[in-house]
Every structure is written in structure tokens, then in C-alpha cells.
Amino acid sequence: MKTTILLCIGASLVYTTMALAADKGFVMDGTKRTITLPAPSVSLINGPGRDITSSYCNICHSLDYITTQQKFPEARWHAVVTKMVKTYGAPITEMNVDIITHYIATYYGTGK
Amino acid sequence: MKSQGISRRNFIKTVGITTALAATGTVPPLLYASERRLVTFPEKTELLLLTSRPPQLETPLKYFRELITPNEALFVRWHLADIPTSVDLATWRLVIHGNVEQQISLSMDDLKKFEKVVYTAVIQCAGNGRSFFNPPVFGGQWLNGAMGNVTWGGVRLKDILNKAGLKTGSMEVVFKGLDKAVLPATPNFLKSLPLDKALEDDIIVAYEMNGRELPMLNGFPVRLVVPGWYATYWVKSLSDIEVGVKPTDSFWVKTAYRIPDNPCGCVEPGTAPKKTVPINRMTTRSLLINPEDGSQLKSGQPVELMGVAFSGGYSIKEVLVSVDGGMNWRPARLGKDIGRYSWIQWFYPWQPAKPGNYHVMVRATNSIGESQPLDALWNPSGYLLNNIEKHNLIVT
């Protein structure tokens, strides 16, 4: 439990919203150089499966990985979501893979 | 982020928090596929947003009107979201280990004691232009802005490897940066070069871009520069060099960034290659930069078309321009040649006589005869794009 929470705080510090003070875009603290990234905020189109998709597909990267793709049919999206699970270790059950695939193909793909 | 074994229950929590965070952001939402907006990231001017976490940003074409791409405008491409956002040079070290006489650990001061090498080289993402693939392929839908021409300053990789001392049986060199995967199950990013390639004179560990420190998003404090080869090898925030006695088994080498094993690196559109090899040298390209595709011009008024041309390490010998859709071709004037890894500018004075739609095409050839195909070649990962582009200029 503790590990997870620390992990999340770590992530929030890195991606916190902050106006950049320096023109240079980075801050020096002694010999340490730091930048602050703007937080991503991509909201997916409303529809069945959207919440599951928003949660799982946002763990490792922002949701614009979905929204900036070309229009692909459901079978191609299924292969990509399966790649997320098999190659990158996304913890998504088969049932959720199907829900997510269907949602993305409907709203960001070519449908069937 | 150091994390080990997240249980399913904890994992759901993580998701919840991450989503909540994302909702309070500063990068406005994207609504439609392939829409592009300008965003500002640290140390960067306004660039076109591809993805925000990890950042993938591309350079608007107008910056390529200059021979050298400014640091602020150079594209950004990370794979894994836990990217370095803070580096302390007091503690940062570049470690060289593996099959070497002695492991060494170099500070920035140590690094700068090696002989300095400076040259200009094109950096280009393997998937630059992927959005033009037909049929389309998955992956970052780059336009042509995942490239730039930068003067790199650094030290020879060879000198560093020799300092550590290569032991017999060395086969390849593996490069890792400070970026990490978000979940432990995701393979961390690394790239490898065969030993003979790694020992080439021109490969450097760069600590300068255009005479200044690297922006954090381009790999501060040092990145590998493999001139002539695609940027996937130019490992950012390089921190770990390992000399290996056998080929690495990493996903990023064995599965990703591979091209069909044939002279064109291509297959019949929509099919899979039988055999693949790691992507390597860049194909020859030329681009029209100004006026941009779709621009309106006045008939009878002289304009100068200009653009850039480059290839994977061989000088551009000739750039031909057609303003009539490929029927007639004339040589463009080439700008100053500042080295075989740099791009060269081309210029073509033109005075459209009458109104109409003009199809402008450009074709470069390098010193070993490599040129550009009329129709785009295809491969499933969307790499190597270099067809002759057809631009539309409207004369009124």
C-alpha cells in the first residue's frame, strides 16, 4: 500500500502544474537542474467503456496515444491493446481488453 | 520511479489518482484523431503536440528555413513516461562497464578532458513522416517535424571505450539513459550497436547542442550521437554504457525498431516481412520548406522555392525540382556544404507565368547514387519514409 502511494506522489510532483518562473525553462538549485512538465489532460469522448479506457490506458502514458492515431478498425485496435498487455505488461483483463477495444474503435477508429 | 510488484488492489488506486491528476492539467484536451496543437514545454518554443506524457513534440516546418535548428525548436521524443526532469551534475556519472578491463565512472569534468569533437548532423526520428503512410500504420503520427539539423559537441565514444579497455570477446555496446518505465513489467528503453559500429570515429557522446548545454527534453546532460543513423540510437540522458559479449535480448532491439531485411526496407503494403534487421542508416530525403504546401502566390512575381536535403552520411550531390508535376526537372542551387552529416539547403528561383495549381516536386541524390522513390515505399512500422513529395502551390 505504502509503496503505491509514494509512487503516485512521485508522479504528481513530476507532472505538477506550474508556471515556469525562469525564461530559460529550468531552475538551478546549486548544481541541480530541474524542469517542470505541464500535466497532460486529454478527455476522451463520452460513451460506454470510456471510464475503463481512461483509467487503464492512462497508467503508462497519456491518452493522446489513442487520440492522435489514425482511424483503424476494431481488429487492429485489439492487436494494439493486446500488445500493451503482452509486451508492456498492462494489467488489463481479457474482458476489459474487449470493452476498451470496442470503445476506441467506435469513437476513434472506423467502428467494426 | 522505483516500484516493485504492485498488487492488483493497489494498482486500481494508482489508476484513480493518475486520472484525477490528469484532469487538472494545463495541456488542453485533444478531441479528434490527428489534430495538432501548439504547446510550450520547458526550454522549448511552441511545438506541435503529439503526446504529452511522455512528451513527443514536433518542430513546425518554418524552423527548417534556417540551416541550423535552434535548441528551443528541436523535436522531442521519449518512449517511457518516467523521464528525467532533474539532474545534479555533482552526482551524475556516466558509467562504462561489462566486458572491460576496468569499470569507469565519469563525471562531466572527466568527460570534458577527452578530445572535443564538433560537427553538424541531421537528427531524425525513424518514424518521421509516419502519418503519410498509406495504408496507415500505428505509432507516433509524425508529420515531417521529427527532424532537425544541429551542431553537436562532445567526445568520441571510442575514446571512452578505450579508456575502460575492451576485453576480447566484446561484441556489442549497450546504451541506457535515465528514463524509466512507469510499471516494472514494461521493458526499459535501451539500444545497442555492434562493436565495429560503436568504434567508428564519428560517434560521440554529446554534451553540447549548438554550443550550449542540451535541453533536458533533448537528453541533458549527454546523449549519444550516431550521425547518419536514425535517432533511435541517439540515446538521451545517457548514463550507462555496457560492453556485451553477446547480443542483447531487449524488446527495443529484438522486436522494435526493425525494418524488412531487403534493400528497400519495404514490403507489399499491408503485408508482414519474413525477416527483419535493426533499422540503421537514414534514407535520402529532400523537403520543400518555403513556400509551404498550399501557399498562394501571385502570377508574374518571382519567388524562391527553398528547402533542405540530406542522406544517411553521404553528401547530397544534386537536387532536382519540378514545378509541373514531374514532367520537367531542373537542378536547384545548393547552399553551403558544411559536412556530409548536415543537411544542405537548396534554392530554386521561379516566376509562375500564369494562374493555376502547380505541383512542385523535389528529388535529391547523394554521392553514392541513393535517391528517392516516386511512390512511397511501405513497411509495417512506418519507418524510412523518403518518397518524392508532391506539393500544391496556388498561383492567382
Mean local confidence (pLDDT), B252-267: 96
Checking if the pLDDT of B20 tops 50, the result is no
CB contact under 8 A, A87 and B255: yes
Decide which of A105 and A21 is more confident: A105
**pTM of the entire structure?**
0.90
Between positions 217 and 246 of B, the ones with CB within 8 A of A are: 217, 220
Full residue range of the structural domain in which residue A26 is found = 2-35
For residue B331, give the 3-state DSSP assignment.
Answer: strand
Grid cell 556489442 in the structure block, residue: B172
Which of the four pLDDT bands, split at 50, 70 and 90, describes residue A23? low
Tell whether A67 and A31 lie within a shared domain. no
Region B53-79: mean pLDDT is 98
Say whether pLDDT at A19 is over 80: no
Q: How confident is the model at residue A10 (pLDDT cuts 50, 70, 90)?
A: very low
Q: Which residues of B touch A7 (CB under 8 A)?
A: 1, 3, 6, 14
3-class secondary structure per residue, A62-110: CCHHHHCCCCCCHHHHHHHHHHHHHCCCCCCCHHHHHHHHHHHHHHHCC
Q: How many CB atoms lie within 10 A of CB B224?
A: 24
The radius of gyration computed from the CA coordinates of chain B, to the nearest angstrom, equals 22
Number of Cβ pairs closer than 8 Å across A and B? 197
Neighboring chain B residues of A54 at a CB cutoff of 8 Å: 19
Counting every residue written for chain A, the total comes to: 112
Which pLDDT score, from 0 to 100, does residue B19 have? Answer: 32
CB contacts, 8 Å: A59 with chain B: 14-15, 18, 182-183
What are the domain boundaries of chain B? 8-77, 94-256, 285-395
Distance CA B351, CA B118 (A): 40
Q: Is B183 on the interface with A (CB under 8 A)?
A: yes
Question: Could B141 and A68 be called an inter-chain contact, meaning their C-beta atoms sit closer than 8 Å?
Answer: yes
ipTM of the complex: 0.88
Which band of pLDDT confidence, cut at 50, 70 and 90, is reported for residue A24?
confident
**Is the alpha carbon torsion for A68, A73, A77, A79 positive or negative?**
negative
Q: What is the pLDDT of residues B92-145, one digit of tens each?
A: 999 999 999 999 999 999 999 999 999 999 999 999 999 999 999 999 999 999
* CATH number 2.60.40.650 is the correct assignment for the domain at B285-395: yes
CATH number reported for the structural domain that contains residue A66 in this entry: 1.10.760.10
Q: What is the pLDDT of residues B74-87, one digit of tens each?
A: 999 999 999 999 99
Task: Compute the average pLDDT of residues A72-79.
Answer: 97
Q: Could you say which of B27, B34, B87 has the minimum Cβ distance to residue A68?
A: B34
pLDDT at B175: 98
Answer whether residue B46 shows pLDDT above 80. yes
Is any Cβ of chain A less than 8 angstroms from the Cβ of B347? no
Give the total number of structural domains in chain A: 2
Which of these ranges, B8-12, B346-350, B376-380, has the smallest mean pLDDT? B8-12
- Tell me whether residue A93 is in a domain: yes
- Residue B379, C-alpha cell as written in the block: 513497411
Do A62 and A25 share a domain, yes or no? no
Residues A64 and A98 both lie in one domain: yes
Contacts of A14 in chain B (CB under 8 A): 82, 85
Share of chain B above pLDDT 90, in %: 91
Q: Does B29 touch chain A (CB under 8 A)?
A: yes
| Judgement on whether residues A31 and A54 belong to the same structural domain of the protein | no
pLDDT at position A40 is: 84
Asked if A88 and A64 sit in the same domain, the reply is yes
Q: What is the CATH number of domain B94-256?
A: 3.90.420.10
User: If residue B9 lies in a helix (H) or strand (E), which one and from where to where?
Assistant: helix B8-23
Give the list of residues 6+ apart from residue A42 with CB closer than 8 angstroms, or none. Answer: A62, A63, A64, A67, B22, B27, B29, B30, B52
Confidence of residue A111 (pLDDT cuts 50, 70, 90): confident
List, for residues B149-188, the tens digit of each pLDDT value: 999 999 999 999 999 999 999 999 999 999 999 999 999 9
Question: Which residue is associated with the grid cell 544542405?
Answer: B344
CB contact under 8 A, B51 and A4: no
Question: Which residue did the predictor score with more confidence, A49 or B14?
Answer: A49
Q: What is the mean pLDDT of residues B43-49?
A: 97
Task: Map grid coordinates 562497464 to a residue.
Answer: B97
